[in-house]
Amino acid sequence: MPNAFTEQIIQEFRANQGQVGGPFDGARLLLLTTTGARTGRRHTAVLGYYPDTADRVLVVGSAGGGPKHPDWYHNLRANPRVTIETGAFTYDAEATVLQGAERDETFARLVEADAGWGEYQRQTTRSIPVVALTQVEAGPPNVSSFGEYLQLIHGAFRRELALIRKEIAASGANAVGLGAQLRINCLTLCQGLHNHHTGENLGMFPALLDRYPELSKEIGALQADHDKIALLLDELQELIGTGRPVDVLPEVDRLIAELTTHLDTEEAILIPLL
């Protein structure tokens, strides 16, 4: 059973669509629900995570540098099918414990992003596990209307962009100084935005035009925004990939400014119709 503090965080997470205040404000968090290895009961833990690929995230079994692996780790070793809550979505995932060189290289990448993991490893004789959680079955969004869904997804993009900006600024904002995990964070966000806008262009916008042909000008402008943002995403990805000593922060700020204006405009036009 979660302790009182953890239970409070879980309730706050679920009540605020994945956002938690206090010491966890601005952190990337998820809820991991596992099946008890001995009892078969469901147990939920609050974990920080790192983006890895479009459908995979990483979590670390640090247990604060303690001598034993956390309970959730033992559970997913016995039952790898788990449930993930992100605030926006709840979905089933398959847990894979990274082994050998893959574990060591990934853990080094995470230590580069947050030196605290290295400190935890120095405090214990066990090898701190890194676990990949890969989505296997998408769940419905945790909303009651499509308008609420749009607002929820947009909010997630806004928060992730703000977090990445903070991480880039802390790294020195130089493309050479960006760590491997921070590059992955940026590229995962870029891919997510691309997928979201492609889905709108191919699905939502045509459906709305069928119902509201008088909005052709407004929807055309939103599609033009998508094209402009796609160029900014391409430029940012190219800049991150060069490894040259180029200041990345101005490009991130350009993207944030353009995307924020677009999201605000899109919400004002579309949410009343959805």
Give 167-179 pLDDT, tens digit per residue.
988 887 565 567 8
Domain spans of the chain, in order of start: 4-137, 146-273
Task: Provide the 8-state DSSP code for 202.
Answer: I
Domain 146-273: state its class.
Answer: mainly alpha
In this structure, what are the phi and psi dihedrals at residue 67, rounded to the nearest 5 degrees?
-75, -15
Q: Which of helix, strand or coil describes residue 68? A: coil
Task: Give the C-alpha separation, 96 to 135, whole Å.
Answer: 11
CA-wise closest residue to 233 among 261, 198, 193: 193
> What tens digit of pLDDT does each residue of 7-35 get?
999 999 999 989 999 889 989 999 999 99
What does the buried/exposed string (b/e) look like for 248-257 if buried means 16 or more CB atoms within 10 Å of the residue's CB?
beebbeebbe
Does residue 144 have a pLDDT over 90?
no
Mean pLDDT lowest among 27-31, 167-171, 189-193, 210-214: 167-171
Q: Which CATH code is given to the segment(s) 4-137?
A: 2.30.110.10
Task: Provide the 8-state DSSP code for 48.
Answer: E
User: What crossing angle do the helices spanning 216-242 and 249-270 adopt, rounded to 10°?
Assistant: 160
Contact by Cβ (8 Å): 155, 17: yes
Question: pTM (2 decimals)?
Answer: 0.90
Task: Give the C-alpha separation, 169 to 161, whole Å.
Answer: 12
Helix residue ranges per DSSP H, 127-203: 146-171, 180-199
Q: Show Cβ contacts of residue 191 under 8 Å, excluding neighbours closer than 6 positions.
A: 54
Contact by Cβ (8 Å): 45, 86: no
What does the buried/exposed string (b/e) look like for 79-107 if buried means 16 or more CB atoms within 10 Å of the residue's CB?
ebebbbbbbebbbebebeebeeeebeebb
